[in-house]
Structure 1
Amino acid sequence: MAENAGELAEPGEPAESTTVVVIGAGPAGLTVANLLRRSGIDCVVLERRSREYVTQRQRAGIVETRAVRMFEAWGLADRVLGGPPHDGILEFRVDGESHLVSDSDGSEGPGARLCPQQVLVQNLTATYLADGGDLRFEALDVSLHDLTGDRPTVRYRTADGTRSTLTCDFVAGCDGDHGVSRTAVPEGALTAHSLDHGIGWLTVLADAPPPAHPLLAVSAHGFAAHFPRGPHSSRYYLQCPPDDRTDAWPDARVWDALRSRLGDPALASGPITDREIFRLRSLVHDPMQHGRLFLVGDAAHIVSPMGGKGMNLALYDADLFARAVRDFVDDQDETGLRAYSRRCLRRVWNDQEFSHWLTRTVHDAGDDTRSGPFLRNLARARLDRLFTSRAAAGAFAELMTGLDPESSRIP
């Protein structure tokens, strides 16, 4: 818990001191917080939304093998990972023809888990609080100060209007692409590398039977996908113009398009509980730190959702950051802190490349009115190689697994 530090506050402001202030209570922030607690390091988590809102946000659904083994190494897997093990099989359906591809690299140890983001967040929240963690929801008007000094300051307002101040050694910016952490960095201190893929997705959550395996479908009608989100719910994706509108997709049109693109005329429907259209884009900020502020997850990088790398990269960042802080606190060793950005970005660019490759492949291989017949045939050749070459399938599995030698140490 934070200690009293009243002399550092504005007049009349309560003030406290802690080692790390974590901004954001999504998968990245809560993983950082739990790993720090396991290391005996005090921290405070600030989240602008309510607990109910945060624990119901539905996004990613697969915790990849590397992240599962990371939680295992920290002794947290049984407490935070819900859902069944992923069986290691992906289905590609090309013009209605099924191809099963393994995403297991054959290494020993637990594999990926089918764990919806909201389940992971709920479990991380419960674990952190049960272990005595300090988590403050509805922390408003958060601002970061003195990031290049020895003791950064974080100010915020509680829901009842009380102003509070936290001083700390480090700030973990885990509040996403539109959070306050990255905007606290002076202009010009970070370089943004971005790519708009020119592709839109309609994403639909429905109370409908999940597929036997995560499914990616390619056809002349466009790309579609079907993923499990629990024993009785599914997440669907439909390629669409990036400037399309959700009201152009009534229920009947959604189910007709899914049955056509998935090559399954008998696909069972169900109540649609959520729908959204978004553009596929990729973004990397370099470096991922400024002074004593360390950007973690979406605050530093956005990955096209193909390959399921976004949340898993955030978990990788959180692991590296927590280890670096532990080394500094326990041994006054700054090596991990100095290398944080370089080590994270090496993994980020690797996953960006894989996600870009898969994005281009499944979209170019479908409707050639956008990509043209030349690129369409190139993409089809890549898929054929994936289905017929043991070496190509092995490389694909290695990239999907997400293993990294740097993350294999036991805490």
Structure 2
Amino acid sequence: MTERQTGRTAQQTADVVILGAGPAGLTLGNLLRAAGIDCVVLERADPEHVRTRARAGFLAANTVRVLDRHGLADGLHRHGKPHGTCEFRTEDGSFRLDYGALGRRELHTVYPQQDLVTDLLTHYLAAGGRIAFETEAQAVEGIDGPAPTVTVRDAEGRPGHWRARYVAGCDGRHGAARRSLPPDTRRYHRDHGVSWLALLAEAPPSMDAVGYAMHPDGFAGHMARTADVTRYYLQCAPGTPADAWSEERIRTALDRRLRADEHGPLHHGRILHRSVVHLESDVLDRLRYGSLLLAGDAASLPAPAAAKGANLAVLEAELLAEALIDELQRGDARALDGYSARCLTHIWRAQEFAHWMIQLLHSPVGPGSGAAVGPVVGPAVGPAVGAQAGPAEESFFHEAMRRSRVESLRTSRTHQDWFAENYVGI
């Protein structure tokens, strides 16, 4: 099947219809195709967009193991870079953690997600995998029965239908899979009240570590992507448009928050891409609804403070592939019945660590909070038992807690081992 095939008005069939050509969908497609399962991937974007959309770039050790197991890791082994160091820059000083020598002694592999997706897509097409680009899934119907139908629309607006035995929803939190869930579906959601200006700069990395800077003006982050491209993050007030900050303002804020005057100048370069990321966490209480199964961001959205999204997607894709192969080829539905519970164990652990990272990196008085910092001036008696603390007291309390967490991470080997295991683990 050629890359640019689009939906047809006639009904088409596959044993498994996969919605979305991201890490989850393409990993799943490759594994099912290798096992001889008839599957098709439906993707609303065109091939160029799929290959170039910038996302995270830190692959966990388990993700590399999964890709290795299935012959999908050639590109990351050729071009990925091992990484195992964090540097924290704070108002109380700076310190580094060589997390690759702590905990389970595992490293990340720095490999841009668009490169991983390109590898997965190339492998899938070379193996004869079917994919329909510029084909937007509108709805999944009949998920309570044995033959669900995906209604699609192609680039010219023509309708079509795909009938399957199973539909794998790997099309994100706003995709057709989630829109097709029963109205009583339970969803757990948390808005962390924090936004980042996410930047890709045409500049070499300025440090040999992942940089996390906690500053009174707000958080700033530095993450290497390639030898010539660096990812920067700047905390901004929620609701800030992506184009609101000039490049000069961005450079000034990065220098100030990453304390370039203390640690050396940053490489800035031309801004290649910018967006605003609002930190939210989102989990569905189960990932299977009859013949519709969810993976990747359709299953859960971890806040991007701990680089868990793509890693969860690959893990879930492998578990789902194994379960579908068992059911379709051997009539054994046990793994499929247990798919949701197995994934949610990993998802909630990743969510907990991402939440901890958010609390570590962000002051309650960051951009847009409107809160004051510092103790309340007055008698040292505190509020009466059961009384509600005011905003100033709450801000000071949470800021003191955050600084205590940072100090514990700096000084406690036990805390450092825990951090390393959860930072790289999935």
Mark yes or no: TM-score above 0.5: yes
In structure 1, the partner of 2:403 is: 380
1:363 aligns with 2:362: yes
Q: Percent identity?
A: 39
2:413 corresponds to 1:390? yes
Please state whether the residue corresponding to 1:343 is helix, strand or coil: helix
Q: Runs of 5+ in structure 2 lacking a partner? A: 2-7, 374-393
Separation (CA, whole Å) in 2 of partners of 1:16 and 1:80: 35
Mapped contact 2:172–2:298 kept (Cα < 8 A): yes
Shift in CA distance, 245/161, structure 1 to aligned 2, threshold 3 Å: closer
Moved more, 130-139 or 211-220: 211-220
Q: Contact 2:14 / 2:165 at 8 angstroms: preserved in 1?
A: yes
2:233 to 229, 233, 237: 237
Structure 1: gaps spanning 5 or more residues: 2-11, 404-411
| Separation in structure 2 between the aligned mates of residue 220 and residue 207 of structure 1, nearest angstrom | 27
Where does residue 386 of structure 2 map in the other structure?
Answer: none
Query: For the structure 1 residues 162 and 245, does the alpha-carbon distance in structure 2 shift closer, same or farther, using more than 3 Å as the test?
Result: closer
AA aligned opposite 1:258: L
Matched residues, number: 392
Matched residue of 2:83: which SS? coil
> What does 1:150-165 correspond to in 2, within 5 Å?
150-160=146-156, 162-165=158-161
Amino acid corresponding to residue 192 of structure 1 in structure 2: R
Alpha-carbon distance in structure 1 between the residues aligned to 2:419 and 2:217 = 25
2:60–2:108 CA contact under 8 A, matched in 1: yes
Decide whether aligned partners of structure 1 residues 220 and 157 sit closer, same or farther in structure 2, where only a CA change above 3 A counts. Answer: closer
Partner of 1:339: 338
Instruction: Return the alpha-carbon distance in structure 1 between the equivalents of residues 75 and 327 of structure 2.
Output: 27
Match of 2:283 in 1: 284
Give the whole-Å Cα distance in 2 for the aligned partners of 1:342 and 1:54. 30
Aligned residue number for residue 389 of structure 2: none
Contact 2:72 2:119 (C-alpha < 8 Å) held by counterparts? no
Match of 1:91 among 87, 94, 98: 87
Cα drift, residue 283 of structure 1: 0.8
Which one-letter code corresponds to 1:138 in the other structure?
A: E
Is the 2:103–2:417 Cα contact (8 Å) retained in structure 1?
Answer: no
Q: Distance in 1 between matches of 2:219 and 2:9?
A: 54
Measure the CA separation in 2 of the matches of 1:207 and 1:16. Answer: 44
Report the 3-state secondary structure (helix = DSSP H, G, I; strand = E; otherwise coil) of the residue aligned with 2:79.
coil
Partner of 1:6: none
Tell me how far apart the structure 2 counterparts of residues 81 and 164 of structure 1 sit (CA, whole Å). Answer: 40
The residue type paired with residue 323 of structure 1 is E
Shift of 1:157: 3.1
Moved more, 94-103 or 212-221: 94-103
Deviation beyond 6 Å, 4+ runs, structure 1: none
Measured in 2, the distance between the counterparts of 1:169 and 1:394 equals: 45
Structure 2 counterpart of 1:408: none
When normalised by structure 1's length, the TM-score is: 0.90
- Match of 1:86, SS state, is strand
Q: Deviations over 1:99-136 (max 9, x none)?
A: 2213335658x742101111111111101001110011
Contact 1:229 1:235 in 2 (8 A): yes
Tell me how large the CA RMSD over aligned residues is: 2.2
Task: Say whether the 8 Å CA contact 1:32–1:318 is kept in structure 2.
Answer: yes
1:174-189 equivalences under 5 Å are 174-188=170-184
